[in-house]
Structure 1
Amino acid sequence: MLISRGASTRILKTLSNKGVHFKQAVRNSGHQYYYRSAVPEHKKSVIIRAEIVHGIVWWWILWHFWTEPDHVFGEFDYPDPSKWTDEELGIPEELE
């Protein structure tokens, strides 16, 4: 076991001496990282634009619920399942 550890350390040393580096990739997410600190307040213009977009989206949803409810609730009446036959339900005939 000691021989294998010694061999692995020697291999790593020779690789690091030849310019092969084992580095972790840098995450470039484009956002700041806040650890144990409060996130700064948004600008007033950003809040106003968000409220405007929020209002437009809800107007769009509620207007289409009011004017075109068939898109959500369906265009036709739901059939009465008690009137369905065994053939329509896929139930095989009973063999006597």
Structure 2
Amino acid sequence: MFPARSLIRVVPALSRGIATSLPKHGGGAWAYRASPAKASKFTLFKAEMVGAVMWWWILYHLMTEPEHITGEFPYPDPSKWSNEELGIPADDED
């Protein structure tokens, strides 16, 4: 096993720690204590369209194929099952 000090020397990123300032070499907008930049109207429109298509897909398939929720076959009536089908032994058996 490596001691912790040699591991820190091998991996310099561990010795730097966590910084909450801007990255040195770019990396996009940093929003630690400030509001992030607002999305463009086109991006919001695309998000709304994706959401609308998703809900259309879900509701359309719920209306046209309700078997996904209710099941494919009718639920059997348990009162019509015999004792043999249920695995209940006859009364005259010991």
Whether the TM-score (by the shorter chain) exceeds 0.5 is yes
Tell me how far apart the structure 2 counterparts of residues 86 and 63 of structure 1 sit (CA, whole Å).
Answer: 43
Q: 2:17 matched to which residue of 1?
A: none
**Aligned CA distance change for structure 1 residues 39 and 85 (closer, same or farther; 3 Å):** farther
Equivalent residue pairs, number: 77
Tell me how far apart the structure 1 counterparts of residues 47 and 62 of structure 2 sit (CA, whole Å).
Answer: 23
Bigger Rg over Cα: 1
Computed over aligned residues only, the root mean square deviation of the Cα atoms, in angstroms, reads 3.3
Using the TM superposition, give the Cα deviation of residue 79 of structure 1 relative to its aligned residue in structure 2, in angstroms.
2.2
Q: 2:13 aligns with which of 18, 24, 29?
A: 24
Is 1:79 the counterpart of 2:79? The answer is: no
Q: 1:39 matched to which residue of 2?
A: 36
Q: 2:47 matched to which residue of 1?
A: 50
Tell me how far apart the structure 1 counterparts of residues 11 and 71 of structure 2 sit (CA, whole Å).
Answer: 59
Gaps of 5+ in 1: 1-7
Tell me how far apart the structure 2 counterparts of residues 85 and 63 of structure 1 sit (CA, whole Å).
Answer: 40
Runs (4+) off by over 6 Å: none
Using the size of structure 1 for normalisation, the TM-score is: 0.55
Using the size of structure 2 for normalisation, the TM-score is: 0.56
Gaps of 5+ in 2: 15-26
